[in-house]
């Protein structure tokens, strides 16, 4: 099966790339899809921790690329809970099928691909990374491969862009994040990524008080990319990342909406996100 590769990018740090990578991967999985999430943040790999499997890693993407291990040994299967049969889709029409599968291709921290001159660096090429991603997608029989990338200008972004069918550029609605989103869109476009979309994260509708704070329409216009979705600010995500709570807040619904759009469904921007829909008048500035 040919997998669909979706990279998550932003040259600005801390805007929610890893959160989005996992949220969308989980959303696709809830829809019954087989999903591989690959950690290409070679400087600050973190998906293993966010998924709670850091103690199960025996081999990484870097080991596979530099010949110290195999892709098969690097892949980690993440346990997922099946949706209850009675639970309905967001429109209340059709129930989701059985949960899909979720796999992780973890990365080493601060090793090959990150530190110049690191042992084995010569074997560590964009082609090597792309081959490992393709092999991992085949081994996991993944329909979707979600690639998390790091902030800044780094080689992993080039490798991800070389294989990506779609790029989701994450931005907040503050000016510094928006400028970085514009730069990222331009760079990915120069790398030849054809389908580039914007993902607005940590959207705080109640914070859009007047035209001194950018509303949704201004952010979408200025980014230069079509909208993939809007994720509300959700304090529960912080607790989820610390392993204190399970996923399940409003952000999870927004990630599911994005997953459905990526699968070709037409889903209104704030479907199922009641708190934001109540503030409708404030957000469309």
Ligand X SMILES: Nc1ncnc2c1ncn2[C@@H]1O[C@H](COP(=O)(O)OP(=O)(O)OP(=O)(O)O)[C@@H](O)[C@H]1O
Residues found near ligand X in the complex (CB under 6 A): 13-19, 41, 44, 150-151, 201-202, 231, 233-234, 237-238, 241, 251
In this complex, which beta carbon is closest to ligand X, that of residue 71 or of residue 200?
200
With the CA atoms of 112, 114, 115 and 119 taken in that order, what torsion angle do they form, in degrees rounded to the nearest 10? 0
Read off the DSSP letter of residue 40: E
Min separation Cβ 279 and Mg ion, Å: 28
Buried b (16+ CB within 10 A) or exposed e, 123-146: ebebebbbebbebbbebbebbbbb
Min separation Cβ 18 and ligand X, Å: 3
> Phi and psi dihedrals of 164, rounded to 5?
-75, 135
How many Cβ atoms from other residues are within 10 Å of residue 151's Cβ? 19
| Partner in contact with 62, chosen from Mg ion, ligand X, none, beta carbon below 5 to 8 Å by kind | none
181 CB-near residues (< 8 Å, 6+ apart): 10, 12, 169, 170, 171, 198, 223, 225
Q: Which of 7, 10, 11, 17 binds Mg ion (CB under 5 A)?
A: 17
Min separation Cβ 52 and ligand X, Å: 15
| Partner in contact with 3, chosen from Mg ion, ligand X, none, beta carbon below 5 to 8 Å by kind | none
Min separation Cβ 18 and Mg ion, Å: 3
In this complex, which beta carbon is closest to ligand X, that of residue 35 or of residue 231?
231
Tokens of 20: 């989005």
Residue 12 interacts with Mg ion (CB under 5 A): yes or no: no
Could you give the CA distance from residue 213 to residue 206 in angstroms, rounded to a whole number?
11
CB 177 within 8 A of CB 171: yes
In this complex, which beta carbon is closest to ligand X, that of residue 99 or of residue 239?
239
Min separation Cβ 117 and ligand X, Å: 23
In this complex, which beta carbon is closest to Mg ion, that of residue 4 or of residue 17?
17
In this complex, which beta carbon is closest to Mg ion, that of residue 18 or of residue 240?
18
In this complex, which beta carbon is closest to ligand X, that of residue 32 or of residue 43?
43
Buried b (16+ CB within 10 A) or exposed e, 182-210: bebbebbeeeebeebbbbbbbbebeebee
Q: Which of 3, 10, 18, 240 binds Mg ion (CB under 5 A)?
A: 18
| Partner in contact with 241, chosen from Mg ion, ligand X, none, beta carbon below 5 to 8 Å by kind | ligand X
Min separation Cβ 167 and ligand X, Å: 14
Min separation Cβ 250 and ligand X, Å: 9
Compute CA distances 226 → 57, 71, 145, 200, whole Å. 37, 34, 21, 11
In this complex, which beta carbon is closest to ligand X, that of residue 175 or of residue 243?
243
Binding site for Mg ion (CB under 5 A): 17-18
């Amino acid at each position: 099966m040919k997998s669909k590769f979706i990279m998550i990018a932003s040259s600005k740090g801390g805007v929610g790339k890893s959160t989005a990578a996992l949220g969308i991967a989980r959303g696709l999985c809830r829809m019954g899809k087989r999903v591989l999430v690959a950690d290409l943040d070679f400087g600050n790999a973190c998906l293993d921790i966010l998924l709670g499997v850091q103690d199960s890693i025996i081999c990484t993407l870097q080991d596979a690329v530099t010949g110290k291990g195999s892709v098969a040994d690097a892949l980690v299967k993440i346990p997922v809970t099946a949706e209850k049969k009675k639970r309905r889709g967001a429109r209340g029409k059709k129930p989701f099928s059985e949960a899909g599968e979720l796999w992780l291709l973890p990365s080493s921290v601060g090793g090959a691909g990150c530190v110049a001159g690191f042992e084995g660096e010569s074997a560590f090429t964009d082609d090597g990374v792309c081959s490992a991603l393709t092999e991992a997608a085949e081994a996991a029989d993944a329909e979707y491969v979600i690639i998390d990338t790091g902030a800044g200008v780094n080689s992993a972004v080039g490798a991800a862009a070389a294989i990506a069918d779609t790029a989701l550029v994450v931005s907040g609605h503050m000016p510094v994040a928006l400028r970085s989103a514009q730069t990222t869109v331009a760079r990915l476009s120069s790398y030849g990524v054809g389908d580039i979309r914007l993902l607005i994260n940590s959207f705080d509708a109640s914070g859009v008080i007047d035209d001194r704070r950018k509303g949704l329409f201004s952010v979408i216009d200025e980014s230069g990319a079509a909208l993939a979705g809007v994720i509300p600010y959700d304090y529960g995500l912080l607790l989820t990342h610390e392993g204190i709570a399970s996923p399940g807040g409003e952000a999870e619904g927004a990630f599911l909406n994005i997953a459905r759009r990526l699968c070709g469904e037409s889903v209104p921007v704030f479907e199922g996100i009641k708190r934001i829909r109540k503030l409708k008048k404030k957000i469309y500035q």
